[in-house]
């Protein structure tokens, strides 16, 4: 049974899940939800995602939403194919969970909102709040200073092997330069890590728009 992903090809959250599916070599069908037309708030879609957000994964009638939850589901269901993305060793998994918490609290909380303000709002004819962007990016840079120290000792954020947590940072890593702030050049370890993730074939396959693979 082919998995069905409901989302928008250009939306970063859809691209994040699709990157994981490419890493795990899982074919999927994309059903496009047009946000500009309000399709994510339509009654039939709200039956799948009661908060009216994207994406949603349908696995033969099993529905799951929230990008990180979907990604974990895919990584565990297809654990024996593609790139291993969740450690099996208990201590390595502890560091994985630690990094996952850091990503949400100390990275996405700032990077995600800054990208919405500076990149996505103008796409919908809205004016970004530059003062808000400044505060968000200042907080993000403080977090990235810590990332720089962590990545000086290991290749990826949870250790020396790539995990879901690294992918969770995509595609915001590729969009951050569009905010107008150079957050990479003074942090060579962060820059190397970010470039390596952005250059992965899995992300290159989705960065310009997610397409069905089945």
- Residues 39/6, Cβ–Cβ less than 8 Å: no
Provide the pLDDT for residue 58: 98
Q: What beta strand segments (E) does 55-181 contain?
A: 56-59, 62-65
Residue 125 reports pLDDT greater than 90: no
Confidence of residue 124 (pLDDT cuts 50, 70, 90): confident
CA atoms of 125 and 90, how far apart (whole Å): 48
- For residue 175, whether the previous peptide bond is cis, meaning omega lies within 30 degrees of 0, is no
Question: Residue 188: helix, strand or coil by DSSP?
Answer: helix
Q: How confident is the model over 16-49, as pLDDT tens digits?
A: 999 999 999 999 999 999 998 999 999 999 999 9
DSSP 8-state class, residue 38? T
First to last CA, the chain: 10
CA atoms of 83 and 25, how far apart (whole Å): 8
pTM beyond 0.85: yes
Residues ≥6 apart with Cβ < 8 Å to 148: 187, 188, 189, 190
Q: How confident is the model over 78-121, as pLDDT tens digits?
A: 999 999 999 999 999 999 999 999 999 999 999 999 999 999 88
- Residues 141/133, Cβ–Cβ less than 8 Å: no
């Amino acid at each position: 049974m082919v998995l069905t992903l409901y989302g928008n090809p250009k939306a970063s959250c859809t691209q994040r899940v699709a990157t994981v599916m490419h890493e795990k070599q899982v074919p999927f069908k994309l059903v496009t939800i047009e946000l500009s037309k309000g399709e994510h708030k339509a009654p039939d879609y709200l039956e799948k995602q009661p908060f009216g957000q994207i994406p949603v994964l349908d696995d033969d009638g099993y529905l799951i939403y929230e990008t990180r939850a979907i990604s974990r589901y895919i990584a565990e269901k297809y654990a024996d194919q593609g790139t291993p993305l969740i450690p099996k060793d208990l201590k390595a998994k502890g560091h994985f969970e630690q990094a996952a918490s850091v990503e949400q609290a100390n990275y996405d909380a700032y990077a995600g909102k800054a990208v919405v303000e500076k990149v996505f709002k103008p796409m919908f004819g809205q004016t970004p709040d530059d003062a808000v962007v400044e505060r968000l990016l200042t907080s993000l840079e403080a977090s990235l200073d810590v990332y720089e120290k962590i990545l000086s000792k290991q290749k990826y954020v949870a250790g020396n092997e790539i995990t879901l947590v690294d992918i969770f940072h995509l595609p915001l890593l590729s969009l951050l330069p569009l905010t107008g702030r150079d957050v990479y050049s003074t942090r060579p370890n962060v820059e190397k890590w970010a470039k390596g993730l952005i250059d992965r074939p899995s992300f290159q396959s989705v960065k310009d728009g997610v397409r069905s693979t089945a």
